[in-house]
Each structure stands twice: as C-alpha cells, then as structure tokens.
Amino acid sequence: MFESEGKAIEKYKYLKKMIKNIDKTLGSHLAKGKIQPKHGLLTKPNKQGHYDLFEFKGTDLSPEFQILLDLSGV
C-alpha cells in the first residue's frame, strides 16, 4: 500500500529493474481504494510512502478498490 499513485508507480519502476518477472510475483495493475478502521491495522508510512495493512479476519477489500492502471507498460 502507498500514500499516493505516484509513489506506488515510482516503487514499481524501481522494482521492475531488479525483479525480472515482477508482474508474475507482485502483479501488474495498480488499484485505488480507501482503507477504513474496520479493515485492520495500519503501519506508519515510510520515507517512500509505503505502509502495511494487517487485515482483520474476514476482511474483503475487493468492493473497496478499483483497478486504475496496468503497470506492465511503465
């Protein structure tokens, strides 16, 4: 999870240089959604804007997120 679309794309580009098949390991699309307190616990964002979500049991985030972009071409 990232604070912004730009930070997520920046990190993906960086990782793509180092991981040959990144689309098969991490995925190839960027999604956007809003995390609610009912979804789980969040860590504080790091310097690159990345944070973790520790989902509560039974949480389904799929209705909350929409795919924005195919990252395979970045």
Tell me the pLDDT band of 73, cut-offs 50, 70 and 90.
Answer: confident
Q: Hey, which residues does 31 pair with through a beta bridge?
A: 67
Element (H, E) at 58: none
| Overall domain count for the chain | 1
Q: What is the pLDDT of residue 64?
A: 93
Q: What is the pLDDT of residue 74?
A: 84
Residue that is written with structure tokens 């959604």 in the block: 33
Q: What is the pLDDT of residue 37?
A: 94
Q: What is the pLDDT of residue 50?
A: 97
Residue range 15-70, pLDDT digits in tens:
999 998 899 998 999 999 999 999 999 999 999 999 999 999 999 999 999 999 99
Provide the residue range defining the domain that includes 64. 5-73
Helix then strand then coil, in percent of the chain rounded to 5, is: 35, 25, 40
Please, which residues have CB within 8 angstroms of residue 3's CB and are 6 or more apart in sequence? 45, 49, 51
22: amino acid identity, one letter: I
